[in-house]
Structure 1
Amino acid sequence: MKVVKGFLVAGLAAALLSGCGSNNNNSASESAAPASSAAASTAPAASAAADATTTASIVNQGDAFKTAVSESGTWIIAVLNDLTVDGEVTVAGEFHDKNDTSKDIYRKIALYAQDADHNVTAQYTLTVPKLTVKSENLRIQGGTVKGDVFVEANGFNLFNNATIDGNLTFANADVQKTAKIEGKVTGTTSAQ
């Protein structure tokens, strides 16, 4: 059973990484999203050639999520099931697209799975009392954040049918002006 789980995790990572290679414009067909287990089952051979520095953090537990979004975490955090995190969470640290310092500052929380053709196959809910954003250019893509989101950093992006089921508050009007909201907020959206 451990061998099967190992192949599944390696396959998920390989499928995820194979989708990370062509993200030049962060469009709606963005390929840095998690792959479904069906796509992952065809990808284990690719894992040997994957560049470990671009690995996403695939999280399925609250403590792992807190670590992944911390200053010592990763540039992309993929949640592949509904997840409840106890206590407030802070997204902190400066990260670059695909962990390449020659690329733009960028970070992403992916709340969905996709197949090999980048079709979204599932969306997930992250339940957290409060998510504070201190990482510049953070994108929440797909799925739902159930809880309040407080943004202190420039460039916040709610993308690809993502939902905040709560309030979205910006530290000030200048931070709010840099945000791009292409998703839904069920509560209020305001600046302090």
Structure 2
Amino acid sequence: MKKSKVIALLAVSTLSVGILAACSSSNSSSSSSKSTAASSSKAADTFTGATTPNKTFSALQNTFKSTGNWLGATGADMDATGQELTVDGTFVADGATGEAYVARKLAIYDQNSQHQVTAQYTLTVKDIVVKSPGFYISNGTVKGDVLVSALGFHAQNGKKTDGSVSQATIDGNLKFASQALLDAYNKLDATQKVVVTGTTSVDTSLAATTEVPMGAITVGTHGLVTWTFKGNGADTQSGATTGTVDASVLTKALGAKGAWLVATNGDVDASGKTISVDGIFLNEAGTVQRTLAMIAQDSNRNITKVYTLTVDKLIVNSPEFDFEGGNVKGDVYVGAKGSILSRPMTDVTGAAVQSKIDGNLYFATQDQLDTYKALPAAQQFLVTGSVAVKAAK
């Protein structure tokens, strides 16, 4: 089955993203739409390369340890009456850095080659303690309570072979550690919520909400996240808050030791130079993202000015890289682990403002190009040259 990225879910985080006029907390909805649309069919939830179904409950417990796997599956009914499953650690789904999203998945079902659900199973436990961000129950039933202390909890509901919905269910109670977590969950679309036979409530006796520090990360085996460094958000020497027109400052900010959010406050002339966007970053809401904002805005966040970055080449190696307004004069290359899109913005008249590339837009692989072309037109760039497959030299 096809699945939207759960970055969209973490975007309704209780953590505000208050970073500069161009990227204030109100833009969490923009980030959400960006991430959902960027999902490709290859982000479908197959078990290929991710895990094999766990045959015992102890194996399932190991899978969901902080050093386990982003995806755990039962493959059949599993009776662990009176026992507890703890889901801990921060993971990126499948380790696929070109389509990276923070997630832990409990798969309680089977499917065919068309990603249609062919069987739904039941996992019987005392409770599931959720400390991992982006945790979701997929298609089957948890018989027991689910206790949530992390952002992004939700359901994945697929389709059966007859076209009916395969509903994720909690045959028990759903409890959140804070009202903020419950409020975030309640904002989700009904299709992303779990059917609960008991009560859904706040239980302040649960563990405190898991904090996910922003910063640069590496994605290891089975999607395990470790931090290269923590920090470098809005208020860094990169000029992310006030913006910069210095090409050397911009180059550093977009590097692997830079910031997830970078802004310019005027045109930047890096004529004849190559600038690389490197590293995988978590933003202030704990989701994989890198943003370049090259605009000025009024108090209503309407664009009043658009700035241009002039380069020989802009090479994008970071996943989830988006333009929050602004143009590039030069060629843009998207590396094999990178991804790119233009975030929809409006000017003071309410008219759409689309980012432009006065040059060529190249992708390292055909799959990346196909994924990009599947985006809504508003999230693609206006390109004067070619949009094709070509690796940077």
TM-score (norm 2): 0.36
Relative to its length, the structure with more helix (as a share) is 1
Show CA shifts across 1:156-178 (max 9, x none): 01221100000000001111122
Name the residue aligned to 1:154: 151
Name the residue aligned to 2:68: 73
- Flag the 1:104–1:127 CA change in 2: closer, same or farther, 3 A: same
Name the residue aligned to 1:125: 122
Structure 2: how far apart are the matches of 1:84 and 1:117? 29
**2:28 maps to 1:31:** no
Q: CA RMSD in A?
A: 2.3
Show CA shifts across 1:135-155 (max 9, x none): 001010111000000000010
Determine if contact 1:166/1:188 at 8 Å carries over to the other structure: yes
Determine if contact 1:33/1:78 at 8 Å carries over to the other structure: no
The correspondence for 1:99, drawn from 79, 82, 95, is 95
- Give the 5 Å matches for 1:1-192: 25=5, 31-34=44-47, 54-85=49-80, 86-100=82-96, 103-160=100-157, 161-179=167-185, 180=188, 181-192=192-203
Structure 2: how far apart are the matches of 1:151 and 1:106? 14
Structure 1: how far apart are the matches of 2:193 and 2:54? 25
Larger radius of gyration: 2
Structure 2: how far apart are the matches of 1:56 and 1:25? 19
Amino acid across the alignment from 1:170: F
Structure 2: how far apart are the matches of 1:148 and 1:174? 19
Higher relative contact order, structure no. (Cα contacts within 8 Å, ≥ 6 residues apart): 1
Amino acid across the alignment from 1:131: I
Provide the aligned length of Structure 1 versus Structure 2: 153
Determine if contact 1:110/1:141 at 8 Å carries over to the other structure: yes
- Flag the 1:118–1:144 CA change in 2: closer, same or farther, 3 A: same
